[in-house]
């Protein structure tokens, strides 16, 4: 059973991963199926170097895992339930105005 502190940590890790549009696109790609880095780079339109840093973040957050396949690594969601969570998040309606900013974001927009 998770303690409240560990539950908060899990949500913070998920939030960190979702804070970047490239990582969001990677998670959505992996929601459909596992993939190799070269395919992911093509799908989201980033260089292999940039992709590598985003995959490292997603691994550090515990959201994706690398599965060895011969000499290559194939990436997939760490838990298939994450795909359902992404579906739920996409279908949720945000109750904020488009021009609203986060009160603690140093005048940067939340979205």
CB atoms within 10 A of CB 54: 22
pLDDT tens, the chain, 111 aa long: 556 568 888 888 888 899 999 999 999 999 999 999 999 999 999 999 999 999 999 999 889 999 999 999 999 999 989 999 888 888 876 665 555 565 555 444 333
- What pLDDT does residue 77 have? 96
pLDDT of the residue at 103: 58
Rg (CA), the chain: 15
What is the reported pLDDT for 111?
Answer: 36
pLDDT at 91: 81
Is the pTM for the entire model greater than 0.75?
yes
Helices (H) and strands (E) in the chain, counts: 5, 2
Supply the pLDDT for residue 1.
52
Q: What is the DSSP letter of 20?
A: S
CA atoms within 13 A on the CB side of 44: 26
The C-alpha atoms of residue 41 and residue 49 are separated, in whole angstroms, by 9
What's the angle, vertex CA 12, arms to CA 6 and CA 15, rounded to 5? Answer: 150
Sign of the CA dihedral running 91, 93, 98, 103:
negative
Domains and CATH numbers, the chain: 15-87 (1.10.10.10)
């Amino acid at each position: 059973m998770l303690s409240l502190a560990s539950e908060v940590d899990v949500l913070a890790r998920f939030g960190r991963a979702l804070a970047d549009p490239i990582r969001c696109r990677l998670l959505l790609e992996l929601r459909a199926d596992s993939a190799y880095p070269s395919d992911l780079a093509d799908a989201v339109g980033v260089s292999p170097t940039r992709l590598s840093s985003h995959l490292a973040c997603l691994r550090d957050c515990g959201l994706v895992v690398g599965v060895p396949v011969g000499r290559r690594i194939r990436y997939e969601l760490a838990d298939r339930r994450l795909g359902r969570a992404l579906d739920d998040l996409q279908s949720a309606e945000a109750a904020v105005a488009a021009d609203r900013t986060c009160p603690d974001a140093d005048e940067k927009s939340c979205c």
